[in-house]
Copies of this chain bind each other. A is one copy, B any other.
Amino acid sequence: MADLTHFDAKGDAHMVDVSDKAVTARIATAEGYIKMTRETFDIITEGRAKKGDVISVARLAGIMGAKQTSSLVPLCHPLPITKVSVDLTPDPDLPGLRLSATVKTTGQTGVEMEALTAVSVTALTVYDMAKAVDRAMEIGGIRVKLKDGGKSGRYEAT
């Protein structure tokens, strides 16, 4: 059975040694969604033009959240992030917002945790801003869509 790399031979947690890994260009994209009532969906998507922009606040929170990843995830390495973008796309069929985050670095380890953190913080911020009108919103579908660069090669979700 495969082993978890974050534990040593004694079973103690540690930060994996990446000292000898190559410094390469790395990219990761994560996705997710936040589901809401039709009424909340209408308020948020109309609001974009007229009443206040939930989407741009949440996007910014996601970008800033990516930079906090190594403070939040205990065994995650600090990384010099070179790019973060976050997209929120209204999906009337959900109804809700489809979230996507792409992070790049030139470093010794991948950035999928940064992309997943960006998506999570984006979703939490949408919840925070719309919770006064809808407490039952649900965050889901958070997963890695794409990861490339580094020794383990390209991964794309099916």
Residues of A within 8 A of B (CB): 1-8, 11-19, 25, 32, 39, 42-44, 47, 50-54, 56-57, 59-61, 63-65, 67-68, 70-87, 104-108, 112-113, 116-117, 120-121, 123-125, 127-133, 135-144, 147, 155, 157-158
User: By the criterion CB–CB under 8 Å, are A139 and B136 in contact?
Assistant: no
* CB-nearest residue of chain B to A141: B140
What chain B residues lie within 8 Å of A72 (beta carbons)? 61, 64-65, 68, 72, 121, 124
Chain B nearest CB from A110 CB (Å) reads 9
Knowing A17-B82, A113-B128, the reply to whether A63 touches B52 (Cβ < 8 A) is no
As for how many copies of this chain the complex holds, the number is: 6
Tell me if B2 and A133 are in contact (CB < 8 A): yes
Q: Are A13 and B57 in contact (CB under 8 A)?
A: yes
Contact A52 B13, beta carbon cutoff 8 Å: yes
B133 and A4 contact, CB distance less than 8 A? yes
24 contacts between A and B (CB under 8 A): A2-B43, A4-B43, A4-B51, A4-B129, A6-B57, A6-B132, A11-B47, A12-B52, A12-B59, A13-B53, A13-B63, A15-B83, A15-B85, A19-B106, A63-B75, A64-B74, A73-B125, A120-B120, A135-B144, A135-B147, A136-B143, A139-B143, A140-B141, A140-B142
